Amino acid sequence: MSVSNLMTLTEYAKGMAPEDVRRPVIEMFTQYSDVFEVMPFEGLKGSKYVGYREAALATPVFRAVNEASSSGHGVISPFDEATYIIDHDIDIDRAIQDRFGPERRNYEERMGITAFARLWIDTFVKGDQSVNPRVFNGLQVRAQKFGRLYYNSTASGGAALSLANLDTMLNNLSGKSGTRYLFVPFLSLPLWIQAARNQSLTGYVMQTWDEIGRPKLTYAGIRLLYGYPKDDQVPVLQFNEVAYGTGSAVTSSIYGMTLGEGMLRGIYVRNLTPEDVGLLEDRKTYRTHISWDVGLVDEFKYCLTRMTSWTNAPIVA
């Protein structure tokens, strides 16, 4: 696939005409989740993505004059990834719009879009085909392969996040500046802000703001993502995991990701497609349909890491 075929939802929306009714819906996705803001997606030409991972290199050697050259080739491991369909109808009774105006329908649509976006983010992290074959495998399942799993602590109940341990994890995450991200629990954000105030940690954990005033945290130049903002729903990552050393379910995980061509990225057969169906034949229901035939690829072995067993306590060096 060509690099030009890879784009974020933000770039996809910008390529639409201003009057395109799909554009505000797609922009709403990117505004709701920081993952959608940065995650690139690649359109497929078939029903599956077929890729290759390096399994072993060839073994060239030096030779003397008049000696034969070495020969041989490396070993590659082919793999494929499929896409999975999300379809959702946002229905509202015509009487509600008649009584409260189109703004009420817009409000209902925003709620439906929020639920749709949360479903994808939750699956992006926790999706498990062994539990539900209709979904793609998320980060948690994928991190179990290729030595991607690290432990912040092996003690019962885990321990406060150690930046030294985090550095070790990041040392096994490939990628250049601007392509690497850390996915953290929303509840951990105060810990990172606190660490930014700690003189012994200052310079490694930093807080800035984006163009509309939302806080952006980075560690060692790597931006922290947390999925979606505070609301009444349960965050996708919580401090409710059992640590490597067992104990109470009071720990969480942090994921390192490298996004882009040949790395971690979304794939789709049909891109995110919102459609205003309008008034149905029953003459009493307005419908907005949202559809996405989407999946995930972690092509390079070192585009993803996970570290478990850290507690909701002040970060340490």
Q: Convert the pLDDT of each residue in 239-272 to its tens digit.
A: 999 999 999 999 999 999 999 999 999 999 988 8
Q: Convert the pLDDT of each residue in 274-300 to its tens digit.
A: 899 999 999 999 999 999 999 999 999
Alpha helices by DSSP H, the chain: 9-14, 22-32, 34-38, 94-100, 102-126, 139-142, 163-170, 189-197
Average pLDDT, the chain: 90
Q: Which range, 14-18, 208-212, 233-237, is most confident?
A: 233-237
Q: pLDDT at position 83, please?
A: 96
Question: Is residue 29 predicted with pLDDT exceeding 70?
Answer: yes
Indicate the DSSP class of residue 250.
E
CA distance 120 to 100: 31
Task: Report, as an integer, the average pLDDT of 96-124.
Answer: 90
Percent of the chain clearing pLDDT 70 (strictly above): 96
Q: Residue 23: which pLDDT band, with cuts at 50, 70 and 90?
A: confident
- 10-19, 125-134, 196-205: least confident range: 196-205
Q: pLDDT at position 213, please?
A: 59
Q: Residue 211: which pLDDT band, with cuts at 50, 70 and 90?
A: low
CA distance 12 to 274: 13
CA distance 84 to 127: 11
Task: Report, as an integer, the average pLDDT of 204-208.
Answer: 75
Task: Report, as an integer, the average pLDDT of 144-164.
Answer: 96
Question: Is residue 7 predicted with pLDDT exceeding 80?
Answer: yes
